[in-house]
Amino acid sequence: MKILQHLILCCLSLAIISCGSGKTNKQSTEQTPVANKFKIKQLLEKNTCFACHKQDEKLVGPSYSEIAKRSYSDERIVELIYKPEPENWPEYPAPMVALPHLDQKELLEIAHWINSLN
């Protein structure tokens, strides 16, 4: 009987421990750069940027790490997404489509991420 009690106690505390650690795990991933990167990927996907841009490779448009080298401010990048200036990239034959309908807050997050690649 004692053994059974012990077993139940053991199971209970295990459940409590695993429950607790599950919670802290969730909290900590929300703040890690990995989670942030995942969020940026989602934003880029949602806003169709991936159709023309990759992080490290030239596609229809320049790679984000290439753009980061221009040392624009975050605000300037947002401006350029709203109103592209193809003359900045003469080696790309097709200009970027203007995307004036996108959310400014989301674009600022994307811009900040682009600059972090430099």
User: Has 53 been labeled as part of a binding site?
Assistant: yes
Radius of gyration, CA atoms only, the chain: 23
Residues 6+ apart with CB under 8 A from 76: none
**Contacts (Cβ under 8 Å, ≥6 apart) of 77:** 67, 107, 110, 111, 114, 115
Q: Is 30 or 75 the residue whose CB approaches ligand HEC more closely?
A: 75
Please state, in angstroms and rounded to a whole number, the distance separating the CA atoms of residues 107 and 81: 8
Nearer to ligand HEC, 18 or 48 (CB): 48
Name the residues that contact ligand HEC, by CB under 6 A.
47-49, 51-53, 60-62, 67, 70, 77, 80-81, 84-86, 88-89, 92, 94-97, 99, 102, 110
Which is nearer to ligand HEC, 35 or 97 (by Cβ)? 97
- The reply, when asked if residue 49 is annotated as ligand binding, is yes
Annotated binding site for heme c: 49, 53
